[in-house]
Amino acid sequence: MAKEVEKTAKPAKAAKKGLELKKYLKEMMGEVKKLTWLSPADLVKNTAMVFVVVLAMSAVIWLLDLGFSAGVKGLASLTNGTSVSATETVE
């Protein structure tokens, strides 16, 4: 008798999951319809701003890298008594 109950319970569970998925997708599409999308002009403007910020931050990081490299080379020359070129390693 218990085996018969288990057999009938499994299809109901699968059907319930199918209904939950259908309900989820329906609710999700309702939420997507509520979104406000950027106009093409705003999209171009925002994309350009992102590129400018990325380029500016890249330049800042490059300048910091140059400065720190020069500082490390200067410190290395103080400890060794000789200057270190960009291709040499300090041992």
Same-domain pairing of 78 and 49: yes
For the cut 80, the answer to whether the pLDDT of residue 71 exceeds it is: yes
Same domain, yes or no: 70 and 91:
yes
What is the pLDDT, as a whole number, of residue 8? Answer: 54
* Mean pLDDT, all residues of the chain: 83
Of 26, 46, 49, 24, whose CA–CA distance to 37 is shortest? 46
Span 73-91, average pLDDT: 70
For residue 14, pLDDT beyond 80: no
Query: Are both 63 and 45 inside the same structural domain?
Result: yes
| pLDDT (0 to 100) of residue 63 | 98
pTM: 0.51
Tell me the one-letter amino acid at 3.
K
If asked whether residues 41 and 28 sit together in one domain, one would say no
What does the radius of gyration of the chain's CA atoms come to, in whole angstroms? 32
- My answer on whether 86 and 45 are in the same domain is yes
Domain that holds residue 89: 37-91
Q: Print burial letters for 17-46: b (CB count within 10 Å at least 16), e (below 16).
A: eeeeeeeeeeeeeeeeeeeeeeeeeeeeee
pLDDT of residue 5: 54
